[in-house]
Amino acid sequence: MEHRTVMTSLSESILYVVATPIGNLRDISLRALDVLATVDMIAAEDTRTTGYLLTHYSITRKMMVLHQHNERVAAAKILALLAAGKSVALVTDAGTPGISDPGAILINMVKEQNYKVVPVPGPSAVLCALSAAGIDASHFLFYGFLSAKAGMRRRELEKLKLLPYTLVFYEAPHRILECVSNLAEVLGSHRQLTIARELTKLFETIYTCALGDALKWLQTDPNQQKGEFVLLVSGAEIQHVTEIDEQTKDVLELLLEELSLKQAVKLATKITGKNKKLLYGMALLLKAEKEL
Ligand code: SAM
């Protein structure tokens, strides 16, 4: 493995995408500090939050605002800076830009103009939570925030229900009880949940229990309902699905392209002679994977 330990020397007309701490201010890379201390402009989601970080490290650079409501306008300003040979760093309030945060629109616009985009990696709540949860993370699906509306949230969860991957959600404190109760209701109370709260901060909590027991645990101690949350749910048991061979899966996939789920399962049962329940489970999984 090649290691580069040289200090970042800044080039012109580059957009740096810089990850910043999710709580503990010391969780910032030396390279991120190099870049922030030397770029011509820092585009921040909230200049007060980033200002606090910069002051902590005695960095004084020019800042501008880029958030989800002004991303296009701010991006146009950044393009003008890049055209003038300047370097810009994009940061958000916490963690990695673009992960449930603005960044994608700007980066696409910068790439369209053939300017270089350089990532400077660092903290992200999703990986921080997964790293310490002890939950299988060989495959995981990062969903981020579920809908704020209860009906829509349930429909989103229905689509995820049969996926055999660890599911990762972000959630805000005012919706945590509602969200956990929906997770148990739709995904099943037996599944394992890890609540990762206030990561890297003073009241950091990483607690694992059965989904069905989580609501009670949260209600017992209102302090556990405060702060920022990552929720990790173990994947659906797939034993029954793996019993289906590739050929049957292909038949089902073909039928699903033309027919409703119910009709496709009915016909697939006739064609293959396989168990209808197994085929139904497989069909739901195929449909959910397609809709994601
Ligand atoms: N870009 C960030 C990242 O890379 O993780 C995420 C930004 S998103 C707007 C904010 C959400 O991330 C919070 O509502 C919470 O779900 C999660 N989050 C951020 N910091 C966290 C922390 N210290 N502990 C737990 N969750 C956190």
Asked if the model's pLDDT at residue 9 lies above 80, the reply is no
Predicted local distance difference test score (pLDDT) of residue 259: 92
Ligand 1 pocket, 94 CB below 6 A? yes
Asked if the model's pLDDT at residue 3 lies above 60, the reply is yes
Predicted local distance difference test score (pLDDT) of residue 6: 53
d(CA 100, CA 106): 14
Ligand 1 pocket, 99 CB below 6 A? yes
| Shortest-distance atom of ligand 1 to CA 97 | 1
Domain 14-123: CATH superfamily is Tetrapyrrole methylase, N-terminal domain (3.40.1010.10)
| Residues 209-235, mean pLDDT to the nearest whole number | 97
* CA–centroid distance for 173 within its chain: 17
Ligand 1 pocket, 172 CB below 6 A? yes
Predicted local distance difference test score (pLDDT) of residue 222: 96
DSSP assigned state of 57: T
- Cα of 195 vs centre of ligand 1, distance in Å, is 13
- 39-51: per-residue pLDDT in tens? 999 999 999 999 9
- Cα of 94 vs centre of ligand 1, distance in Å, is 7
| Residues 91-110, mean pLDDT to the nearest whole number | 98
Predicted local distance difference test score (pLDDT) of residue 279: 86
Do the beta carbons of residue 61 and residue 41 sit within 8 Å?
yes
| Residues 217-231, mean pLDDT to the nearest whole number | 97
Ligand 1 pocket, 200 CB below 6 A? yes
What sign does the CA torsion over 288, 238, 273, 277 have? negative
Question: Which range among 1-10, 71-80, 255-264 has the greatest average pLDDT?
Answer: 71-80
Ligand 1 pocket, 199 CB below 6 A? yes
Ligand 1 pocket, 235 CB below 6 A? no
Same fold yes or no, 14-123 and 126-233: no
Do the beta carbons of residue 45 and residue 70 sit within 8 Å?
no
Residue 84 is encoded by which pair of tokens?
A: 């003038």
d(CA 102, CA 138): 27
**3-state DSSP percent of the chain in helix, strand and coil, to 5:** 45, 20, 35
- Strand-pair partners of 64: 43
Predicted local distance difference test score (pLDDT) of residue 285: 82
| Shortest-distance atom of ligand 1 to CA 129 | 25
- 232-248: per-residue pLDDT in tens? 999 998 655 556 788 88
Predicted local distance difference test score (pLDDT) of residue 237: 82
Predicted local distance difference test score (pLDDT) of residue 61: 97
Give the pLDDT band (50/70/90) at residue 225. Answer: very high
Predicted local distance difference test score (pLDDT) of residue 12: 86
Give, in degrees to the nearest 5, the angle at Cα 171 between 194 and 17. Answer: 100
Predicted local distance difference test score (pLDDT) of residue 274: 85
Domain boundaries, the chain: 14-123, 126-233, 239-291
H/E run at residue 209: strand 205-210
Ligand 1 pocket, 20 CB below 6 A? no
- 256 versus 290: which is more confidently predicted? 256
Q: Taking the domain 126-233, which CATH number applies?
A: 3.30.950.10
Q: What percent of the chain has a predicted confidence (pLDDT) above 70?
A: 93
Residue 286 is encoded by which pair of tokens?
A: 């195929």
Q: List the strands of the sheet with 41-44, edge to edge.
A: 63-65, 41-44, 88-91, 14-18, 116-120
- Cβ atoms within 10 Å, residue 172: 12
> From atom 11 of ligand 1, which residue's Cα is the shortest distance away?
170
Residue 228 is encoded by which pair of tokens?
A: 């920022």
- Cα of 63 vs centre of ligand 1, distance in Å, is 22
Residue 49 is encoded by which pair of tokens?
A: 């939050």
Q: How far is CA 238 from CA 234, 242, 290, in A?
A: 12, 6, 17
Ligand 1 pocket, 272 CB below 6 A? no
- Least Cα distance to 180 among 229, 124, 235, 125 occurs for 229
- Least Cα distance to 157 among 136, 143, 171, 170 occurs for 143
- 137-184: per-residue pLDDT in tens? 999 999 999 999 999 999 999 999 989 999 999 999 999 999 999 999
- 55-84: per-residue pLDDT in tens? 999 999 999 999 999 999 999 999 999 999
Predicted local distance difference test score (pLDDT) of residue 276: 83
